[in-house]
Structure 1
Amino acid sequence: MGGRQRLGVQDALWLEMDEPGNLMVVDSLFWTAAPIDWDRYRDVARERLWDRFPVFRSVVVRGDDGAWWWEEQPGADPEDRYEHVRLPEPGGDAELQALIAAQRTVPLDRSEPLWRAVLVDGYRGGSAVLFRAHHAIADGVRMVQLAFSVFDPGPEGIVAPPAAPRASRRGIAGTSRLLARGAVTNPAGAAHTALTLTGSLVGSLVGSATGDVDTLRKLVLGTRNDSTCWTGTVGEHKAIAWAPPIDLDDVKAIARAHAVTVNDVLVTCVADSLRTYLRRHGAVCHSVTWDVPVNLKPFDPTLPVVLGNSFALVQLELPTSIDDPVRALEVVRRRMDRIKRGHEAVVDFGLQALIARLDKRLYRASVDLLANRAIGVLTNVPGPDVPLHVAGRKVEGMLGWAPLTADQVMSFTIYSYDGKVFVGIAADAGLVPDHEEVVEGFSAALERIRLLTEAHPGP
């Protein structure tokens, strides 16, 4: 990358979108049952992140032309990027969730590299790491790969003969291959690797494909997202919650029984959990819309040293007025299929590029207008189906939360790892009271679908 590198158009867009109530910071979490040797962990992180990726030792500066640049800081020290804390007793989920919630509204200092790591002792007798990085550094898929680059397939770490390539490259490539085995795909399953639109924007939308008709409808008419109990202006008080892990084989069995994808089942559980939450709070919505990130570049297991963003946000409307989760599953499957058959991801990427070139006030208003069509961001990360290790300790679980913008109230994450599904939310505490009910409802929804499937098997 050299000493200076201009931010891409989309990277600069996310850099400009920080607001007190919703920061453009990706929060990633993993934890171990046994305490981590922090000296060993920091050595691994230095070699595989700090030394390899110049952006981790760079700050953002504005050039004479008004553009943003990454500028390497020769005297920067990775030790300055760590905060070491011990959870208060009893050191359980509630204490760790409170720590993460408090961090969600702590901005990253623009005069320093735009990432920090909180090293946590005392979580259930083991350790945890909260890694915070600005969205300007990389998109979600690359963020996941970066997080995985500090992991090893076994507790002994990476063992190779002296003639082998650098350990940092082996670490990234090795764990990324495990990631690929786990089929890291786009949450909507709607990947388009071409970044250019052929023909005019309108021309790409007037075809006969149902998915493209639906894309045109979303752009022109918008999506249905009823005003309800969580509608309002976000504040600076956030809340975090997650559910006990779910057996992935149970989800796969349901998907097979109904001839749908695992993602269809998981997304339907989100819809049913929101329906239950709304009903408990005296509200009914026909549909709730989410922004869903879709990667636009092929998966690269080695990771280029220049990272950046190459993704689009498609809008997924989840049915929240259907009491029968099996019927809701069929509705979700049809809507997901329309997204897969269309070109919404590529069109939205082009629209983001156009918005990013507008005057700051205009693109801020445009982004807010589009973002407020959704209640938040929904991500589904299918990770490796085998256990990983960090600094010799087995990783027990992992989660992460995408940043929100405008008045979006909830970041919902589904994370599959080592045969389990981890579900978590980051929500606005004022607009989403009793936020724990959302993730509790997810587990309850899966059980409902399982029981109905056993009673009335699908095709």
Structure 2
Amino acid sequence: MKQLPGLDASFLYLETPQMPMHVGALHLLELPAGYDGDYVADLREHMRARLPLLPALRRKLLTMPLGLSNPGWVDAEPDLEEHIVEIPLPEGSGMAELEAQVGALHPVLLDRARPLWKFHVFTGLEPGPDGQVRVALYTQLHHAAVDGQAAVALAQVILDLSPEPRATESLPARGRKRGQLGTVGLLRAAVSQQWQQTVKLARALPGAAGILGNMAAGYVGGVAAGSAVDKLRALLAAVSDAAAQTTAVVRGKTAVSSLGPAPRTRFNVSLSDTRSFAGVTLPLAELNRARRRHGASVNDAVLFVIGGALRRYFAKHGPQPRKSLIAAVPVSTRAAGDTTSNNQATMSFMSLGTHLANPADRLAHVMASSHAMKAQMAQLKSLMPTDFPSLGIPWLMQAGAMLYGRAKVAEKLPVIANVVISNVPGPQVPLYLAGALMLTNYPTSIAVHGLALNVTVQTYHQSLDIGLMACGEALPETAELAAYVEAAFMELQALPVAEVAAEPAPAVKKRAPAKKAAAKPVAAKKAPARRRVAKAA
């Protein structure tokens, strides 16, 4: 038995019917020409062959006595008849029907008596342009078991580079069986884990204090010989600056925007037990050409596009916030090459510049905000613990999660962020699942109380696939928002280079205004129909 680290276990404790804690994706799959088999049966056989290489899918939870500490993982052989199920749709169904199915299935919690994953295969879809037979797959994996990067590692084991599945080495299942540990053994394991977590946390504290001390040095400066109060103020200033939205340079003008409070919007509410979902695909090569012209990163481009879409959405549905919307952006702390199936991530906050009408100003704002946050996270991400003592935590967190939703606490607390935006690097080549070509990879992630919209982006082959998951009551118009994403992407493509201020150097607080071209911005082309996602990759 292996007990869950604190961060992994927190996804179990926070889960309620209004806040399911599983992640996954919606895949459109194209079957080989002339295929006349049973794809669901073929997929089960494919997964049966790969399961020895997928320990994260061959384990289930074992609760500690009295629920005093984090549960553990024990080996369990999944029943593939229960974990891979077929859902027939009306003949000729398309993306709208698939999105509705994901919205209906996402609030259904995974059975904790089984391994925490499930695959839903949709049949009855409209054929491809040349009559190709298509099916779709909606996957669910609990966030207690994997984060975004760990899910990508799992996909590398499950998927193939050709229609012909590769041969895999059969490995025996490892680990203790549930019956090998009695109550006394479980209590000993729980106490041992508490001790190890406490020692680990204590050892990390001096290093954390050193990092904060170094960050404070720049603020203490002339008060090094001053009073203790002065030094404390300087240290607090360092921590506040590291956690706050920092200086953004927009066309040569310095504009300081505080992280909090963010503007209150219709997204900053307690969730219902309904979900609305939409997927949209952007061409990766065209996005790279557009963002490179301005010296922007892929993440900068994603934030600009999502911010532009949200600005359009609020312009129609109102009210348009006067302050910039703030995005909570997960940041991976996973070391290169680490494929462990657990959570290794922390959270940063980014201003989207949605208060700026001019798209050039917004892009410069996002780039400056991103630059400052990267510098901060390089120091801060080592301070974020993924494991900590958990004695009594299960009771407290579970009760707190239920009370938080029922009492509608999200409507009463200051707003720190308005939306979650996550960018997960994915495979750059076409992939196959049980012989079927994967055409799309729309992530399906988690909306939480106070943040009713989650936007997760993943690169796949020649595309950038975006999944919009929202509370069905707070934001039922995810399909409309998906259309605005395409419009904002066209806006990025049409933006003249001379209209964007260069990214500032880290230490520069003020700079001369950038020269602007006399030409007016080029009008954006009409966005293509969103049904382009049905094209072969």
Q: TM-score range by the shorter chain?
A: 0.7 to 0.9
Separation in 1 of the partners of 2:368 and 2:240?
14
Q: Which of the numbers 299, 315, 318 marks the counterpart of 1:279?
A: 315
Deviations 1:370-401 (A, max 9, x none): 99623342111232222111222211111112
Q: CA deviation at 1:442?
A: 1.2
Separation in 1 of the partners of 2:307 and 2:238?
21
**SS of corresponding position for 1:335:** helix
RMSD: 3.2
1:104 counterpart = 2:106 = yes
Q: Percentage identity across aligned positions?
A: 23
Q: CA deviation at 1:356?
A: 6.1
| Stretches of structure 2 lacking an aligned partner (at least 5 in a row) | 33-37, 128-133, 173-202, 220-236, 247-257, 503-537
1:418 counterpart = 2:461 = yes
Separation in 1 of the partners of 2:343 and 2:384?
11
1:57 counterpart = 2:58 = yes
Deviations 1:293-348 (A, max 9, x none): 222122327x34xx221111222222211122222111111111112111365266
Q: CA deviation at 1:102?
A: 0.7
Deviations 1:151-208 (A, max 9, x none): 111122326xxxxx72789xxxxxxxxxxxxxxxxxxxxxxxxx95724164264254
Q: CA deviation at 1:290?
A: 2.3
Q: Which of the numbers 242, 266, 273 marks the counterpart of 2:279?
A: 242
**SS of corresponding position for 1:341:** helix
| Stretches of structure 1 lacking an aligned partner (at least 5 in a row) | 160-164, 170-194
1:215 counterpart = 2:212 = no
Q: Which of the numbers 73, 76, 85 marks the counterpart of 2:76?
A: 73
Residue 189 of structure 1: aligned partner: none
**SS of corresponding position for 1:265:** helix
Q: Which of the numbers 203, 217, 220 marks the counterpart of 2:213?
A: 203
Separation in 2 of the partners of 1:372 and 1:82?
40
Residue 308 of structure 1: aligned partner: 342
Counterpart code for 2:330:
P
Higher mean C-alpha deviation, range 202-211 or range 405-414: 202-211
Asked whether the 8 Å contact 2:22–2:141 carries over to 1, the reply is yes
Counterpart code for 1:300:
G
Q: CA deviation at 1:144?
A: 2.0
Alignment length (residue pairs): 418
Query: Relative to structure 1, is the Cα distance of residues 17 and 218 closer, same or farther in structure 2, using a 3 angstrom cutoff?
Result: farther
Give the structure-1-normalised TM-score.
0.82
Deviations 1:52-74 (A, max 9, x none): 33342322122235331112236
Query: Relative to structure 1, is the Cα distance of residues 347 and 204 closer, same or farther in structure 2, using a 3 angstrom cutoff?
Result: farther
Separation in 2 of the partners of 1:253 and 1:13?
40
Q: Which of the numbers 289, 293, 305 marks the counterpart of 1:257?
A: 293
Residue 226 of structure 1: aligned partner: 263
Separation in 2 of the partners of 1:11 and 1:127?
32
Query: Relative to structure 1, is the Cα distance of residues 218 and 445 closer, same or farther in structure 2, using a 3 angstrom cutoff?
Result: closer
Query: Relative to structure 1, is the Cα distance of residues 83 and 205 closer, same or farther in structure 2, using a 3 angstrom cutoff?
Result: farther
Separation in 2 of the partners of 1:228 and 1:456?
30
Query: Relative to structure 1, is the Cα distance of residues 212 and 445 closer, same or farther in structure 2, using a 3 angstrom cutoff?
Result: farther
Q: CA deviation at 1:222?
A: 5.3
Query: Relative to structure 1, is the Cα distance of residues 217 and 92 closer, same or farther in structure 2, using a 3 angstrom cutoff?
Result: same
Counterpart code for 2:447:
L
Q: CA deviation at 1:25?
A: 0.7
Residue 12 of structure 2: aligned partner: 15
**SS of corresponding position for 2:265:** coil
Give the structure-2-normalised TM-score.
0.70
Q: Which of the numbers 383, 389, 403 marks the counterpart of 2:432?
A: 389
Counterpart code for 1:152:
D
